[in-house]
Amino acid sequence: MIEREAEELLAGHPGEWMVVHGSLTIETVPALFETGLRHLAGEDLQVDFSRVDSVDSAAVSMLLGWARAAKRTRHDLRVKGLPADLLSLAHLYSVDELLPQQSN
């Protein structure tokens, strides 16, 4: 479900993006959520969702939880490639304004 690949960050500094692929559902989100929380406890987190095939509401909850954790730990959460289905669910639940802004 998760693989890492090196990539340049927007600021031009080398960084690592966590690439998520497959389904983000109630079955897969708990483990990924915990991984993200552990990461945010010590450093910034960059996540690329462009390889995600399907989502359910658990994916929205995961992003909101990571956003809260990032704020609490004073680390940055950067995301890119959020699937249209995830954005649609967030809009349906009126929480789209709470999602982290996407990086290019």
DSSP annotation string for 13-82: -EEEEEEEEEEESTTTHHHHHHHHHHHHHHS-EEEEEEEEEEE-HHHHHHHHHHHHHHHHHT--EEEE--
The domains found in the chain, sorted by start residue, are 2-98 (3.30.750.24)
pTM attached to this predicted model: 0.84
Residue 1 pLDDT class (50, 70, 90 cuts): low
pLDDT in tens, 49-103: 999 999 999 999 999 999 999 999 999 999 999 999 999 999 999 999 999 988 8
Average pLDDT over residues 43-49: 93
